[in-house]
Amino acid sequence: MKLLKKKWFLAGGIAVILVAVGLFLVYRSYLSPSGRTRKVIAFITDPAQSIEPRVEALSRCGEAPFVLPTSGMIGFIWGDSFRPGHHHAGIDIFAGTEPGVTPVYAAYDGYLTRLADWKSSLIIRIPEDPLQPERQIWTYYTHLADPQGVSLIDPAFPPGTAKVFVPAGTLLGYQGNYSGTPGSPTGVHLHFSVVLDDGEGHFLNELEIRNTLDPSPYFNLALNEKDNPEQIPGCLLP
């Protein structure tokens, strides 16, 4: 009986901790005046009224290796958590426009692939990481389709495209809001991530943060949740 009570006590304690963590995440994201999610929702609702910093496509923050791949507000960053156990594996740049309006460009020279079943995604292989030339990395771009999954990727890159060289600044397509489920759109944005190679010339699963890299040093911006827990990143351009 004592052992059973102890187990129930431990289970209850764990449940209380999980609830507390969940409430903290909800407060930080949705209720706190400085919560990033709150700012993103406000921007999507009325971009013209937003006073948050925005970035410009093809600009570069200082000596950053990558150019910014699109224009808009960097709403979510690497490591942001929307629910317990989840960590965002890239950055989301919200245009504040309709789908198919805001261009998306290659952030760095590389070799582009679009798998046959990819409606809204592209990935670019960079043989030499500009920060660590001995390793290969990949840059991943997604949400380049309208709510029904009609692709907004440039026609130069049809499904099945593989290993096509694209220099930095190449037009890849346009921001969209395809969520993967037709008729259930997200906000119009680009999701961008830096993905690790498996050591055999293939990219790892971008959905898992452990397979991605903090993009901050590639853009010379605070683009990870640890260094920037609440603010919208911005670059002071000359």
Identify the CA nearest to 154 among candidates 175, 178, 172, 177.
172
Q: What is the predicted pLDDT for the residue at 84?
A: 77
CA atoms within 13 A on the CB side of 216: 12
Residues of the chain with pLDDT under 70: 1-34, 236-238
What kind and span of H or E run contains 38? helix 36-45
Q: What is the predicted pLDDT for the residue at 164?
A: 98
Query: What is the distance between the terminal CA atoms of the chain, rounded to a whole angstrom?
Result: 71
Identify the CA nearest to 161 among candidates 115, 127, 119.
115
Q: What is the predicted pLDDT for the residue at 81?
A: 87
**Model confidence, pTM:** 0.85
CA atoms within 13 A on the CB side of 115: 10
Cα separation values, 191 from 16, 20, 124, Å? 34, 30, 14
- What is the token pair recorded at 65? 């290796």
Q: What is the predicted pLDDT for the residue at 42?
A: 93
> How far apart are the C-alpha atoms of 238 and 236, rounded to whole Å?
7
Query: 99-125 burial string, b = 16+ CB within 10 Å, else e?
Result: bbebbbbbbbbbebbbeeebbbbbbbb
Q: What is the predicted pLDDT for the residue at 6?
A: 53
Q: What is the predicted pLDDT for the residue at 3?
A: 56
Q: What is the predicted pLDDT for the residue at 35?
A: 83
Identify the CA nearest to 188 among candidates 219, 160, 216, 147.
147
> How far apart are the C-alpha atoms of 104 and 227, rounded to whole Å?
26
Domains of the chain by start residue, with CATH: 53-219 (2.70.70.10)
What kind and span of H or E run contains 222? none
163: left (phi over 0), alpha (psi -120 to 50) or beta: left
Q: What is the predicted pLDDT for the residue at 7?
A: 52
What are the φ/ψ torsions at residue 215 (nearest 5 degrees)? -80, -5
- CB of 174 within 8 A of CB of 69? no
What kind and span of H or E run contains 161? none
Identify the CA nearest to 116 among candidates 160, 180, 162, 163.
160
Amino acid in the structure at residue 186: T
Q: What is the predicted pLDDT for the residue at 202?
A: 97
What kind and span of H or E run contains 72? none
